[in-house]
Amino acid sequence: MSASTSKLVRQWVAMPGGSCDLRVGSDAIEAMGTILKGSVGRPRTCALVKADNAPEEIVERVRRQLTDAGFLVQPVSLPAEGLRTLGGVELLSSALSDAHVTADDLVCAVGSADLLSTCSFVCSSWCSGTPLAHVPLDLQTSIEVTTTPLGIDVGGSPQMLASKLSAKYAICDLSAMDVSPDTAEAVYGRALMATAALCDSEKAVERLWDRAELLVDGDIETLQEQIADTAKSRGHIISSTSIAMRQSVSFGQTFMRALSTLVGEEVPKGLLLAEGVRFQARIAAATEILPVEEVLMMDELLDLLGLEPVSCKVDADAMVAALKEECFLRSNRFMLCLPRGAGRIRPASVDEEVLREHAGAWCASRAQL
């Protein structure tokens, strides 16, 4: 489904050490020349980075806008596979060196989460920091990578090297992506919307609740507003002075990554992320830090967003082992983000007995669906 014509939504997103100028809407690419013209003072070189499988029509639209803005465009094409690796970082760095890109120039990345995340990682340190503009080509990338680029995979372990800095500009052109509400990217996007709102505030939850039905129906203007709202919420979380609040942006992510190793691609990761919310909310209720009414509210919000419980067969012991392996990959402590209410989600230790009891209950219930 293609996006219908609609006005641009603009949102300044707080980021660690700066901010991101986010524009969302159909034909947003056609406005980016004006937006980027003043990004680096007098326009000079712009490295236009894409994967070799990027839609040429969209890349050409971007190139024309950059040229019209006065940039000398240097095209950079990278292989679509293996981007978020040290090899991908080296390829991009070499390309920027060949194009003589400096901190006074601009990098514009057009593509998916892996490409844009790699560009974020490299540009955060290239010449001590080079301005970056994102043009995401799917909903997942628009919602997630704008604020939290994926880390670089190292030694077979996912996302071990991460950068706190992302793009200075994000141009989310809904006419350049599939905005159908039933795609895997859209389902994951709505799960990210839910976790961001729950981590942010009750008001953020209320706004998402009111938009949920229209989001599931694929209403474009509602989608625009919620992408901007979610980016604002995620920016607020990762820019907080509280370490615990910054860590809450991973709410449900540990569960999602752990379970994906057990179910593979059988279950969309958006549904697994939603299951992480349900699972961790129930543990919070069991430890008496979250009222049962709040658990039911979270369940209903996920249901309104079309994030139904999954049907799968998982061994409870294997689930516990996978959760621990995922946690211990990045920390010496086993902790999960547990909700105490909307806007109050913090990492907490989980008792072994409680963990195994809820893992067993979850596995038994999902096997019966």
Residue 137 CA to residue 309 CA, distance in Å, equals 28
Residue 5 clears pLDDT 70, i.e. is over it: no
Token pair belonging to 368: 């019966």
Residue 89 CA to residue 95 CA, distance in Å, equals 10
pLDDT tens digit sequence for 239-294: 999 999 999 999 999 999 999 999 988 899 999 999 999 999 999 999 999 999 99
Helices 184-200 and 202-217, interaxial angle, to 10°? 160
Asked whether 229 and 204 are in contact (CB, 8 A), the reply is yes
Q: Torsion angle, CA of 356/359/364/369, rounded to 10 degrees?
A: 170
Residue 285 CA to residue 206 CA, distance in Å, equals 21
The reported pLDDT for the residue numbered 207 is 98
Residue 127 CA to residue 196 CA, distance in Å, equals 33
Residue 354 CA to residue 360 CA, distance in Å, equals 10
Q: What residue ranges define each of the domains in the chain, with the CATH number in brackets?
A: 9-178 (3.40.50.1970), 197-367 (1.20.1090.10)
User: How far, rounded to the nearest angstrom, does the alpha carbon of residue 365 sit from its chain's CA centroid?
Assistant: 29
Residue 182 CA to residue 167 CA, distance in Å, equals 28
Cβ neighbours for 127, distance < 8 A, ≥ 6 positions apart: 101, 102, 103
Confidence of residue 156 (pLDDT cuts 50, 70, 90): confident
The model's pTM is 0.93
Percent of the chain topping pLDDT 70 = 98
Confidence of residue 310 (pLDDT cuts 50, 70, 90): very high
Residue 337 clears pLDDT 60, i.e. is over it: yes
Residue 203 clears pLDDT 60, i.e. is over it: yes
